[in-house]
Amino acid sequence: MTSCPRWSAVSRVSLWLAVLVGGMGTPTYAQPARRATLAWDRASTEPDRIVLTWSGDPATTQSVTWRTDTTITAAKAQIVIAADGPRMEPDARTVDAATERLDTRTVPGAGEVVHYHSVTFAGLTPDTLYAYRVGDGARWTEWFQFRTASTRRKPFSFLYVGDAQNDILSLWSRVIREGFRRAPDARFIIHAGDLVNDGNADWQWGEWFRAGGFIHAMTASVPAAGNHEYRARSAQEAQANGSSLSVFWRPQFTLPSNGTSGLEESTYWFDYEGARIIVLDSNRDRARQVEWLRAVLANNPQPWTIVTFHHPVFSAARERDNKELRELWKPVFDEFGVDLVLQGHDHTYARGRMTATGPSVRNVGAGVNTRARGAGTVYVVSVSGGKMYDATPGGWERYQAQLERKAENTQLFQVVHVAGDTLRYEARTATGALYDAFHLIRTGTRNRFVERMPKGAPTRTMQSAPPYGRR
Domains and CATH numbers, the chain: 39-147 (2.60.40.380), 156-451 (3.60.21.10)
Confidence of residue 467 (pLDDT cuts 50, 70, 90): low
Confidence of residue 5 (pLDDT cuts 50, 70, 90): very low
pLDDT of residue 393: 84
Average pLDDT rounded to a whole number, residues 445-467: 87
Q: Which is higher by pLDDT, 236 or 271?
A: 271
pLDDT higher than threshold 70 for residue 11:
no
List pLDDT tens digits, range 351-395. Answer: 999 865 444 444 434 333 333 335 689 999 999 999 999 998 888
Average pLDDT rounded to a whole number, residues 443-465: 88
Confidence of residue 77 (pLDDT cuts 50, 70, 90): very high
Alpha-carbon distance of 21 to 242, in angstroms, equals 8
- The overall average pLDDT reported for the chain is 88
List pLDDT tens digits, range 149-200. Answer: 999 999 999 999 999 999 999 999 999 999 999 999 999 999 999 999 999 9
Q: Which is higher by pLDDT, 119 or 9?
A: 119
> Residues with Cβ < 8 Å from 212, sequence gap 6 or more?
173, 176
The Cα angle at residue 133 between residues 48 and 219, in degrees rounded to 5: 75
pLDDT of residue 145: 98
Confidence of residue 238 (pLDDT cuts 50, 70, 90): confident
List pLDDT tens digits, range 89-145. Answer: 999 999 999 999 999 998 987 778 999 999 999 999 999 999 999 999 999 999 999
Average pLDDT rounded to a whole number, residues 323-338: 95
Amino acid at site 10? V
Alpha-carbon distance of 312 to 171, in angstroms, equals 23
